[in-house]
Amino acid sequence: MSEAVRFEVAGLECRYGDAVAVRGVSMTVPAQGVTAFIGPSGCGKSTILRCFNRMNDVIGSFSLRGTVLLDGEDVNAPGTDPTSVRRRVGMVFQRSNPFPSSIFDNVAYGLRLRGSLPQAELALRVEAALRAAALWDEVKDRLDANAGSLSGGQQQRLCIARALAVEPEVLLFDEPASALDPISTARVEELVLELGRRLTVVIVTHNLQQATRVADRTAFFLHGRLIEYGPTLELFTTPRQPETEAYVSGRFG
């Protein structure tokens, strides 16, 4: 039985003005599990990640050729609302970006945008999202406190809770632990693993050990091209391409 596909990318080319960031990438992302994107800085991995929920649209110089299908539908088709795509495909950024409001209001933000909910139901949804982000026990007695009072690791998990509250089908992580201490990094990695059991998760990471710990499959990019893509263990232990072998062995990057 074939594996269900969440994203299908074909002939993707991305530019920022005249600079080409992604060159002819074609790949699929399965609906289940965690997929990691690795490669040196400037290789195009974050650009591709942002194509999955049209976050590149906010960059005036950005242009795209090729197709990105989400469950068989072109996310860039005329008439497709980027907001509707982002409801289905949430994103957590490299640095936590909590709103300057309470912990509760941060998580409730997206739910309120989608329509009015009774306060009791809103409270239940916020609690469920905070539990899913492994943060509830740490903040349940101070939901009215400003989100800025949380530690860096807690703020990042709050941003994950905010993304989870609207019940996305996909969650994208762009270097989610690069600014965190080792203990906070471990908690985020545990959360990524847990979420990968019920959502499509794609994570960009410079940390090769992190990719081996959390990802079911890994894609290696270099100079805007997809060099190799397959099960994580195979890519790291028996890479097929010499560029991949050089990168995972630490000879460059």
Contact 47/14 with Cβ under 8 angstroms? yes
Q: For 111-153, how does the pLDDT look when each residue is reduced to its tens digit (9 = 90+)?
A: 998 878 889 999 999 999 999 999 999 999 999 999 999 999 9
pLDDT at 180 over 90: no
Q: For 67-112, how does the pLDDT look when each residue is reduced to its tens digit (9 = 90+)?
A: 999 999 999 999 999 999 999 999 998 888 899 999 999 999 999 9
Give residue 104's pLDDT: 97
Contact 48/26 with Cβ under 8 angstroms? no
Contact 41/206 with Cβ under 8 angstroms? yes
Q: How far apart are CA 148 and CA 134, in angstroms?
A: 18
Give residue 253's pLDDT: 62
What's the burial of 23, exposed, middle or buried (CB within 10 Å: 0-12/13-18/19+)?
Answer: middle
For the chain, percent of residues with pLDDT exceeding 70:
98
Mean pLDDT of 16-32: 96
- The two tokens of residue 105 are 């209001």
DSSP 91-133: EE-SS----SSBHHHHHHHHHHHT----HHHHHHHHHHHHHHT
User: Residue ranges per domain, the chain?
Assistant: 5-97+169-248
Contact 59/14 with Cβ under 8 angstroms? no
pLDDT at 2 over 70: no
Backbone angles phi, psi at 225, to 5 degrees: -115, 150
DSSP 145-158: SBGGGS-HHHHHHH
The DSSP letter of residue 236 is H
Fold of 5-97+169-248: Rossmann fold (3.40.50)
More confident residue, 3 or 90: 90
pTM: 0.93
Mean pLDDT of 218-227: 98
Contact 32/13 with Cβ under 8 angstroms? no
Average pLDDT in the chain: 94
Give residue 114's pLDDT: 80
Mean pLDDT of 165-192: 92
